[in-house]
Amino acid sequence: MADSGRRIGVAVDFSPCSIKALKWAIDNLVRDGDHLILVHTRPAEDAESGEMLLWETTGSPLIPLVEVSDPATMSKYGVKPDPETLDVLNTAARQKKIIVVMKIYWGDPREKICEAIDRIPLTSLVIGNRGFGKLKRVIMGSVSNYVVDNGTCPITVVKGPAHE
């Protein structure tokens, strides 16, 4: 990847919380010439067939926005980006003159997002927080808390929509 701009990562799972974090990153952090890198994780068991087996340990290659927007390409990875996310990305790429790519990892989101920070490497990362209560956070664990504690770049946590 060319080093002409910063590499801003956004952890995406296509939830309302993830879309809010993506919009925040585009509105407040991304500048002309930056690389916007979407980091998406899938459960490890989803990598047990086809092309995904090739990328299980290292993650997918960097997938350009034109391929992220292609349902046939994304189905090979078991990913279905929602129309709102694709619209936000295509508009940002056009208006801000940024390069948008996606990297898909298979495994624990907490570990794989931290791995992405170091392997890509990212200049900074934006991640959403669903705002689970204390009990849910104890049971399920908080991806954003883990990434803040273990990530090696500046990390911005964007709180999810109020209704979550």
For residue 85, the domain's CATH number is 3.40.50.620
Residue 1 is assigned to a structural domain of this protein: no
In terms of Cα–Cα distance, which of 31, 20, 62 is closest to 8? 31
Mean local confidence (pLDDT), 147-158: 95
pTM for the model? 0.87
> pLDDT tens, 75-117?
888 899 999 999 999 999 999 999 999 999 999 999 999 999 9
Q: How many domains does the chain have?
A: 1
> pLDDT tens, 110-151?
999 999 999 999 999 999 987 655 554 444 458 998 999 999
In terms of Cα–Cα distance, which of 161, 163, 132, 140 is closest to 16? 161
In terms of Cα–Cα distance, which of 43, 96, 36, 95 is closest to 68? 36
Range of the domain at 17: 7-159
Question: Sign of the CA dihedral 155, 159, 161, 164?
Answer: positive
